[in-house]
Structure 1
């Protein structure tokens, strides 16, 4: 379900699990941060960011546990973070009602998690570095619930047709998990992707392919499956191609950030 400035994930989460993903409209920031930028670290006017966060607060039970994201694999218990703290982490989990977990993105993949009984939730910032290092597997471990009892929602990220990476990225994934090869296609080196794939194969394979198109949604599904999570929802759209709806760092360079948030409601 989408409204101006935000969307509600469409997934069969328990009633007491609440979630929200912001989009770029509905705020007061001016270009190139227009308009609902929620990040204080990208050069936007601090007063505009404060007003954008105030507008978001109207949909939340408390101020979110904001993070200083570094493309790592650290997760924190949001209930143990003080109001003024901004922990260095790329994910947060909570078992206490009213504690809001949040991650910010602008091409990287936000992943929301909850268990079937509505006792624990988590929000994860899953860029390619975090995915390769196993942040989703670490998130499942931190939630201390068997993967088969968890639900996951993949929020808006850069699409497979737009996420171009080099050989080093593909090699880093495949060196750890061979199945990751399915998430990479040679980037087009001629008018059509099919011709690019054929040309790469003709030249002898991956060593001669300069660039790849990476499917970050598939990489996340693979990581979740390794952790036992098979109930995965979302995972469509492209932040780079949907300029009116989403911020995209790859598209614009200087830009704002969306937030993906999740919390437990009171019983």
Structure 2
């Protein structure tokens, strides 16, 4: 029987959490069984992939974690769920939230993405993950996740370590004035911190947003013990990552973490 480490594809991203006993990774395109546009490690069930292939890929995630990965029905919100055994019972609907916390070694956090930012958290006695697109980020999903993790694990923010996975990068993430306003910025026609003004071909005002920078700013304000990652662009690295903006019916990746 293959070990958990042997089931982690060498191309997957591997966060490091110092001094904590966790298993964590973010998948890439590599290492699964899906075919065609979903080749090969697609974990998304709503992108017209073969359901049997999706199930096999999700099973590999759980096997590599050594725990049952609990996938969520993500809705671009800011709510957080604390995982419990009933969430993996047959026929139980997926939790309709964008973040989860686990204090159980048998239940793993799993966050699906294909341009939005996944953030994994580890602390003594607990792990968590958040799906941080711009809506969730502006709505406080990271702050809510850290608060729930600290409550569940009985720790302080300074004991929490955060790792940011792959997402759409600042050279590719084109947004409108509504996104600036969601982050409390006035839509002035010039560069602003973490928003670079770049009108589109029709001359309409657009900005390129730094999603990782916006997340890091919020994580730093929480006083976490360490913040790392965020060095990959899903949109521009097309041979390695799926991207919703580049291929809407392409695959979905997962950032996952479990206690050992």
TM-score tier, shorter chain, comes to 0.7 to 0.9
Mapped partners of 1:262, 1:108: distance in 2: 17
The structural deviation recorded for 1:81 is 4.2
Mapped partners of 1:160, 1:230: distance in 2: 25
| Structure-1 residue corresponding to 2:189 | none
| Structure-2 residue corresponding to 1:8 | 14
| Structure-1 residue corresponding to 2:114 | 106
| Structure-2 residue corresponding to 1:90 | 98
**When you count helix as a share of all residues, which structure comes out higher?**
1
Mapped partners of 1:251, 1:81: distance in 2: 37
Indicate conservation of the 8 Å contact 2:169/2:234, yes or no. yes
Counterparts in 2 of 1:131 and 1:209: CA distance versus 1, 3 Å: same
The correspondence for 1:228, drawn from 215, 223, 228, is: 223
Indicate conservation of the 8 Å contact 1:40/1:49, yes or no. yes
Mapped partners of 2:256, 2:105: distance in 1: 14
The correspondence for 1:182, drawn from 193, 198, 209, is: 193
The structural deviation recorded for 1:82 is 2.3
The structural deviation recorded for 1:15 is 3.7
Counterparts in 2 of 1:209 and 1:78: CA distance versus 1, 3 Å: same
The correspondence for 1:150, drawn from 160, 163, 172, is: 160
- 3-state DSSP of counterpart to 1:59: helix
CA deviation vs aligned residue, 1:12-43 (integer Å, no higher than 9, x gap): 33341221111111212122211110111222
| Structure-2 residue corresponding to 1:135 | 141
Indicate conservation of the 8 Å contact 1:5/1:27, yes or no. no
The correspondence for 2:176, drawn from 166, 169, 173, is: 166
| Structure-2 residue corresponding to 1:47 | 52
Mapped partners of 2:40, 2:214: distance in 1: 30
Mapped partners of 1:3, 1:44: distance in 2: 21
| Structure-2 residue corresponding to 1:252 | 247
Counterparts in 2 of 1:236 and 1:32: CA distance versus 1, 3 Å: same
Indicate conservation of the 8 Å contact 2:85/2:107, yes or no. no
Counterparts in 2 of 1:189 and 1:12: CA distance versus 1, 3 Å: same
Counterparts in 2 of 1:134 and 1:234: CA distance versus 1, 3 Å: same
CA deviation vs aligned residue, 1:154-177 (integer Å, no higher than 9, x gap): 00000111101011111210259x
CA deviation vs aligned residue, 1:207-262 (integer Å, no higher than 9, x gap): x9710000000110111122222511001110001111100000111111101011
Counterparts in 2 of 1:48 and 1:171: CA distance versus 1, 3 Å: same
The structural deviation recorded for 1:5 is 5.0
TM-score, normalised to structure 2, is 0.86
Structure 1: segments with no counterpart, 5+ residues = 191-207
| Structure-2 residue corresponding to 1:211 | 206
| Structure-2 residue corresponding to 1:238 | 233
